[in-house]
Amino acid sequence: MTKKQRKIFYPTIFILGLFLMAWQVTIFRNTIIDFKILIGIILVVGIITFLVDFKNYEKTYKYSGIGLYLYSSIHYLCGFGFIACAIFMLTNYYFADKTPVRETFEIVERSSLPGRKYHRDERKPTFRINYNGKIKELVFNHEYYEKMDFFTNVELEVRKGYFGFDILENKKLN
């Protein structure tokens, strides 16, 4: 790759990684997976691409010293790391089993999140459940906020993901 092509390639990968990271938040909310696994994927892929491609990055940009290492590591972690994590999450999500299983879980803890911009008063209730030994936080629409203290359990329809991490299909408060 020429220097001019690399100057287009690195920012494109970085921006693509950031967009995919934002999309992963919604998929993460519907997947039962430990956050440490995702951080591990991002770090491993980011460090490997840093080690493999650092010399090309150094030739492309005129940074020096600590700035060179800082900017390049941010590029590799946010770009390649988030892309690899997104591929992992999307593969688990879209290649999951087709048959859902219905299960009921007791609510362990209740809290809420503020609404979106200009709708901060429309708080979204969040419920934490003990899902087979793991604490999972479920976010519901703001319509349930007023009655959130009356719900005692959550009924979930769950599919087994491609890599074995469960996918939440439907969630219903009882």
Q: What is the mean pLDDT of each run of 10 residues along the chain (174 residues)?
A: 92 96 91 94 97 92 90 95 97 95 95 88 92 91 91 95 95 92
- In whole angstroms, what is the distance from residue 127 CA to residue 143 CA? 14
Q: What is the CATH number of domain 101-173?
A: 2.40.50
The pLDDT, as a whole number, for residue 40 is 98
Domain with CATH 2.40.50 in the chain: 101-173
* Burial of 136 from C-beta contacts in 10 A (0-12 / 13-18 / 19+): buried
Cβ contacts of 35 within 8 Å, gap of 6 or more: 28
pLDDT at position 120, please? 86
Per DSSP, 123 falls in state P
Residue 62: what pLDDT? 84
What pLDDT, on a 0 to 100 scale, did the predictor assign at position 14? 96
CB within 8 Å of 127: residues ≥ 6 apart:
107, 109, 110, 137, 138, 140, 148, 151, 154, 173
